[in-house]
C-alpha cells in the first residue's frame, strides 16, 4: 500500500501524513546524515511526535558520534541505540577476519546483516512506522521510492521518506540556514557516511553514494536496511 503525494508536498506535511497513517509509534532511523538531522529539525519545529533510533555497528567514525552528541544537547533528544549481537560479530571476525566484506558481495551482505539488518529488526519491532532520510537523487537504487509506502519486508510498517524530492543542494541549504549540526567529514568530500572502512570521499562528478562500498557496482550499493 502507498499514499499518493504530490511532488511539491512539504517534508513536514509528508511526515505528518505518515505519522497519522501509522496510527502508532513512529521513529526515525538516524545515521546522523545531513538528511536525518534536517528531519529531526523539521519534526521539532512542526511539533510532531517522532522517536529516534540509531544503529551502532561498532565501526562508525568518531565524527558521527559527535553529531549524535550535538543533537542530544540541542533538542534534548533521546536516542534509542541498537547494537549487533556480540556473539555474531565475534564469530565473523574470528572466522573471516576484519575485512571479509571486501572479498565478495556475499561476505559484505553477511557483515551488513550482522551489524545493521538484525539490529534494525529489533529497532522496528514495536513500531507502526519508520522514517528515513532517503532521496531519489542519491543513486540508482533509490529512483523508484515513494514518499510514504508499506515496508512489506518489515511486517507492513509504514515507511516515510519526507525528503524524497529534495536535491542535495536543498539539503545543504537547509542545514546551513538553520545552523544544524553536521558531520565534519562532509567538508572533506564524504557525501554519504556509513561504517568507516566502507566509506570514502566522493570524487568530482560522482553521485552522493559513490563513496559507499566503492569497489562494488552501483546497483549493489545498499546494506539491506532498505530492501524493497
What residues are annotated to the active site? 223
Phi, psi (deg, nearest 5) at residue 46: -85, -5
Length of the chain counted residue by residue: 228
Question: Residue 111 and residue 93: Cα distance in Å, rounded?
Answer: 10
How far, CA to CA in Å, does 84 sit from each of 33, 77, 114? 20, 22, 6
Question: Residue 183 and residue 68: Cα distance in Å, rounded?
Answer: 9
Question: CB neighbours of 121 closer than 8 A, spacing ≥ 6?
Answer: 154
Question: Residue 138 and residue 225: Cα distance in Å, rounded?
Answer: 15
Question: Residue 55 and residue 25: Cα distance in Å, rounded?
Answer: 18
Three-class HEC string of 160-188: ECCCCCCCHHHHHHHHHHCCCCCCHHHHH
Distance of CA 211 to the CA centre of its chain: 15
Contact 26, 50 (CB under 8 A): yes
Find where cell 566503492 sits: 214
Amino acid at each position: 500500500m502507498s499514499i499518493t503525494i504530490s511532488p511539491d508536498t512539504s517534508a513536514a506535511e509528508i511526515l505528518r501524513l505518515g505519522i497519522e497513517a501509522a496510527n502508532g509509534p513512529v521513529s526515525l532511523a538516524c545515521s546522523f546524515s545531513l538528511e536525518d538531522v534536517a528531519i529531526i529539525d523539521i519534526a521539532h519545529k512542526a511539533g510532531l511526535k517522532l522517536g529516534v533510533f540509531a544503529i551502532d555497528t561498532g565501526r562508525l567514525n568518531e565524527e558521527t558520534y559527535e553529531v549524535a552528541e550535538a543533537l542530544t544537547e540541542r533538542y534534548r533528544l533521546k536516542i534509542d541505540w541498537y547494537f549487533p549481537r556480540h556473539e555474531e560479530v565475534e564469530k565473523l571476525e574470528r572466522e573471516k577476519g576484519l575485512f571479509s566484506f571486501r572479498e565478495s558481495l556475499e561476505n559484505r551482505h553477511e557483515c551488513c546483516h550482522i551489524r545493521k539488518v538484525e539490529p534494525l529488526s529489533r529497532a522496528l519491532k514495536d513500531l507502526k512506522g519508520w522514517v528515513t532520510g532517503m532521496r531519489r537523487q542519491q543513486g540508482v537504487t533509490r529512483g523508484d521510492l515513494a514518499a510514504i509506502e508499506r515496508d512489506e519486508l518489515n511486517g507492513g510498517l509504514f515507511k516515510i521518506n519526507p525528503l524524497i524530492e529534495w536535491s542535495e543542494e536543498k539539503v545543504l541549504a537547509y542545514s546551513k540556514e538553520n545552523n544544524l549540526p553536521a558531520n565534519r567529514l562532509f567538508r572533506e568530500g564524504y557525501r554519504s557516511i556509513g561504517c568507516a572502512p566502507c566509506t570514502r570521499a566522493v570524487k568530482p562528478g560522482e553521485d552522493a553514494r559513490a563513496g559507499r562500498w566503492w569497489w562494488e557496482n552501483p546497483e549493489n550499493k545498499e546494506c539491506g536496511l532498505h530492501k524493497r
